[in-house]
Amino acid sequence: MKRALLPSARFERMARRLALRHPAGADHLEAALELLAEDPFHSALRTHKLKGKLAKSWACSAGYDLRILFQLVKHDSREAILLEAVGTHDEVY
């Protein structure tokens, strides 16, 4: 079952910035988002639960130093993924 991806305003800003600065990173992001919609726990994504102030969120990899922060939510009575942020390790944590 494919989940809906719900990008936050912050995610959209960060994704646009990423596409301008690192076009290759944008390709990695697109591939990771497709995989995330299919299976958020696919081994290639290296999905892991976060702690502390980000305890409600999960993170996954979209390339060497590219991370996607997201939450698993319900939207229209279906499972969905709220995309919170994207960027390097230091940008998103």
Domain ranges within the chain, ordered by starting residue: 4-92
Q: Which residues are registered as beta bridge partners of 61?
A: 67
Average pLDDT of the residues of the chain: 94
* Model pTM above 0.85: yes
Rounded CA separation 19/6 (Å): 19
User: Is the pLDDT confidence value at 1 over 90?
Assistant: no
- Asked whether 77 and 87 are in contact (CB, 8 A), the reply is no
48 burial type by CB count under 10 A (0-12 exposed, 13-18 middle, 19+ buried): exposed
Task: Dump pLDDT digits (tens) for 6-29.
Answer: 999 999 999 999 999 888 888 999
CATH class assigned to 4-92: alpha beta
